[in-house]
Amino acid sequence: MKIQPEIELNATTEEKIKEAARRVFTSKGYAATRTRDIAEESGYNLALINYYFRSKEKLFDIIMLEHLQLFIHSVMGIVNDPETSVHEKIELLISHYIDMLIKNPDLPLFVLSEINANPVKLAAKLGFGHVERGNIYLVKQWKELTAAKILPNVNPLHILMNVLSMTIFPFVASPLLRNRTGISQEEFNKLMLERKKLIPVWINAMITTS
């Protein structure tokens, strides 16, 4: 029986396999990807994939966990910053997201699909860094502003949904949108970059007129 390889020394090949797996999983989903696809995509062979990660499911879990951690960590970093205003936070969130999504366009559809396919299993993974709502700095700021009547008393969940929707959904619907409108990938990205400035303005408009 061979011994688990020194992971520190092999970070490169292990990383390569994980990167390949990430690509295949995100483009085809868990059920549709075969371990052999990952082997082919990574340039290594099937035996080595299982040698490093034991099973398809374990490899998937690692990748999904890293995605969720990265996602939540980066959002929390912005949302919990005491130095920025509410409007700055919204701008930063949108800008940060769109840049990330232009690099990884099929990430949200992948994550949302897998959560939908297996909500119970992924609920555990989602619970890891559960911060109490009241402790989030953005929430405090929002409450202060509504108390001072500077912001209208809308359910902030609606505003959150609107920010996330207008930012993320175009990427989720991108294949369909491009099919129906005939615009190219580059034109689409240009539109998304425009939205980095537009969405905060729109959010502002809907907040101040409610």
Partner DNA sequence: AAGAGATTTAATCAGGTGATTAAAATTATT
Partner DNA sequence: AATAATTTTAATCACCTGATTAAATCTCTT
1, 82, 157, 186: residue in contact with its own copies (rule CB under 8 A): 157
> Which of 51, 71, 137, 142: binder of DNA (CB under 7 A)?
51
Asked if residue 15 binds DNA (CB under 7 A), the reply is no
Structure-token pair, residue 34: 């075969």
Task: Please give the Cα distance from 129 to 99 (Å, whole number).
Answer: 24
- The size of the interface with DNA (CB under 7 A), counted in residues, is 23
Chain-centre distance of CA 155, in angstroms? Answer: 24
Among positions 11, 15, 19, 54, the unique one binding DNA when judged by CB under 7 A: 54
* Contact between residue 122 and residue 64 where contact means Cβ atoms under 8 Å apart: yes
Q: Which does 106 bind (CB under 5 to 8 A by kind): DNA, its own copies, none?
A: its own copies
13 binds DNA (CB under 7 A): yes
Of 160, 33, 138, whose CA–CA distance to 80 is shortest? 138
116 binds, among DNA, its own copies, none (CB under 5 to 8 A by kind): its own copies
Nearest residue to 92 (alpha-carbon basis) of 209, 189, 172, 203: 203
Q: What is the Cα–Cα distance from 103 to 89, expressed in whole angstroms?
A: 21
Under the binding rule (CB under 7 A), the answer on residue 197 touching DNA is no
List the one residue from 26, 33, 95, 167 that touches DNA (CB under 7 A): 33
Q: Which of 98, 100, 122 is nearest to 111 (CA)?
A: 122
Task: Tell me if residue 20 falls in helix, strand or coil.
Answer: helix
Tell me: does residue 5 bind DNA (CB under 7 A): yes
* Minimum distance, C-beta of residue 90 to its own copies, in the bound complex (Å): 14
* Stretch 80-99 residues interacting with its own copies (CB under 8 A): none
Q: Which residues bind DNA (CB under 7 A)?
A: 1-2, 5-6, 9-10, 13, 33-36, 43-48, 50-51, 54-57
